[in-house]
Amino acid sequence: MVVRRALRHGSVVAGGGAIEMELSKYLREVARDIQGKQQLIIAGFSKALEIIPFQIALNAGFDAIDILNKLRAKHAKDPKGKWFGVDIVNEGICDTFESAVWEPSLIKLNSITAATEAACQILCVDETVKNPKAGGGMGDDQMATAPRGGGMPGRGRGMRRR
């Protein structure tokens, strides 16, 4: 289906983690201009995107940290470096667009969108869990006398559990 979609839509991007590294670079730059919690969220998302080239290098048996550092440097310093990704043939980095390592842009867009939505769903919790040692929660003595079952209703979108 990947080849079929590439032929049907005609738009491809460089593979080998090149797009993820370029997005990561862009998000790091954006995060520098934002204050507060949003900066941490954007920086965390930026770092999460770098898992793709890291895992490609690791699966190929390379020093993934070294490859990731080379990719960061290439994407940060070279304006033509936006297409550089993991080179699994020569154990390094290369212009994956020139090396014909392509991915259909539609599939790349869908995968990033799906991963983002999955992360948002995981972060959407109905109940807050508190550490009893931090205060505000129940201690061991209170837990023994606490009523069982049901729990406290959350403010989420789901129905109340019975």
Q: What is the pLDDT of residue 126?
A: 45
The tally of domains found in the chain comes to: 1
Residue 150 inside a domain? The answer is no
Q: What is the pLDDT of residue 18?
A: 96
Is residue 17 classed exposed, middle or buried when 0-12, 13-18 and 19+ CB atoms within 10 A define those classes? buried
Residue 132 inside a domain? The answer is no
Burial 79-96 (b: 16+ CB within 10 A, else e): eebbbbbbbbeeeebbbb
Contact criterion met (CB below 8 Å) for 120 and 51: no
Residue 126 inside a domain? The answer is no
Query: The pTM is what?
Result: 0.72
Q: What is the pLDDT along the chain (162 residues), one digit of tens a residue?
A: 777 877 888 889 999 999 999 999 999 999 999 999 899 989 999 999 999 999 999 999 999 999 999 999 999 999 889 999 999 999 999 999 999 999 999 889 999 999 999 888 877 764 445 556 666 555 555 555 545 544 445 454 555 454
Residue 155 inside a domain? The answer is no
Q: What is the pLDDT of residue 124?
A: 74
Is residue 148 classed exposed, middle or buried when 0-12, 13-18 and 19+ CB atoms within 10 A define those classes? exposed
Domain that holds residue 13: 2-117
Residue 125 inside a domain? The answer is no
Please provide the size of the chain in residues.
162
CATH assignment at residue 17: 1.10.560.10
Task: Give the Cβ contact number of residue 13 at 10 Å.
Answer: 19
Residue 152 inside a domain? The answer is no
Burial 106-124 (b: 16+ CB within 10 A, else e): bbbeeeeeeeeeeeeeeee
Contact criterion met (CB below 8 Å) for 93 and 82: no
